[in-house]
Amino acid sequence: MPDLIRHDGVHDDEWTLVSAPEEGQELALPEGPALLPATVWKENRDRYAGRNDIGIWFDSHEEPEAFADVLDDLPVIAVNFPKFTDGRGYSIGRLLRERYGYKGELRAVGDVLLDQLFYMKRCGFDAYALRPDKDISQAEHCLNFFSNTYQAAVDDKEPLFRRRAAETS
């Protein structure tokens, strides 16, 4: 089982990320919990909704807006970072958490490197499938580079200017 970082440490990852089926092919569900391509899940919503062993994954160009009303049915959502420099996943994370109130596990998958973990955490991710060639023992350090931040995000709703004002008043 590959490793998965959560904020409480490193875990075995029980979930299988399922690729989109080829044209004309049926989706083959693996043994155990599975993350399905978001569009596939939606097309078969009646079959999968409410199952606590089925989640979805988004690619960076896909829009979480289309899933706004079904998020309660999903125990895990993964967002793919096809390349670590593709920053769309950060906005997707914030939208899922802040706008659509998603409460389940939000995973970063794909080209996930150590130096992006802190930003991902701030944008609402709470699980990370670090690229396997990276040193997982450094993840905790990298998740916590900063003890304070200027702007509001998912992990801290109060921007620093509000916290400063609260301290002086």
Partner 1 sequence: MYVYDEYDRQILNERVAQFRHQTDRALAGELAEDEFLPLRLQNGLYVQRLAPMLRIAIPYGMLRANQLRRLARISRDYDKGYAHFTTRQNVQFNWPAVADVPDILAELAEVEMHANQTSGNCIRNTTTDQFAGVQTEELTDPRPYCELIRQWSTYHPEFAFLPRKFKIAVNASEGTDRAAVQVHDIGLELVNNEAGEFGFRVYVGGGLGRTPVVGPVIREFLPELDLLTYLEAILRVYNRYGRRDNKFKARIKILVKAMTPDVFAEKVEAEWAHIKDSPTRLTREAVDNVKRFFTEPDYQSLDDNPDGLQTQRAESKAFDSWVKRNVSKHKKPGYCIATLTLKKTGVPPGDVSDRQLEQLADLTEQYSFGELRVTHQQNVVLADVRQDQLFELWQTMRPMGFATANLGTLTDIICCPGGDYCALANAKSIPVAEAIQTRFDDMDYVYDLGDIDLNISGCMNACGHHHVGNIGVLGVDKKGQEFYQISLGGSSQRDASLGKILGPSFAREDMPQVIEKIIDVFVDNRTEEETFLDTYRRIGIDPFKERVYA
Interface positions with partner 1 (CB under 8 A): 84-88, 90-91, 94, 98-99, 113, 115-116, 118-120, 122-123, 135, 141, 145-153, 157-162, 164-165, 168-169
Nearer to partner 1, 44 or 149 (CB): 149
Output phi, psi for 148, to 5 deg: -145, 155
Nearer to partner 1, 16 or 156 (CB): 156
Nearer to partner 1, 106 or 153 (CB): 153
Nearer to partner 1, 25 or 147 (CB): 147
Distance of alpha carbon 100 from alpha carbon 154, whole angstroms: 12
Question: Half-sphere exposure of 108 toward its Cβ, with a 13 Å CA cutoff?
Answer: 34
Task: Give the nearest distance from C-beta 139 to partner 1 in angstroms.
Answer: 13
Task: Give the nearest distance from C-beta 28 to partner 1 in angstroms.
Answer: 31
Nearer to partner 1, 14 or 158 (CB): 158
Are the beta carbons of 29 and 53 closer than 8 angstroms? no
Residues pairing with 17 in the sheet:
35
Task: Give the nearest distance from C-beta 57 to partner 1 in angstroms.
Answer: 18
Sort 47 into a burial class: Cβ within 10 Å, 0-12 / 13-18 / 19+: exposed
Q: Which two tokens stand for residue 94?
A: 């914030």
Helix/strand/coil for 112? coil
Task: Give the nearest distance from C-beta 9 to partner 1 in angstroms.
Answer: 21
Task: Give the nearest distance from C-beta 39 to partner 1 in angstroms.
Answer: 18
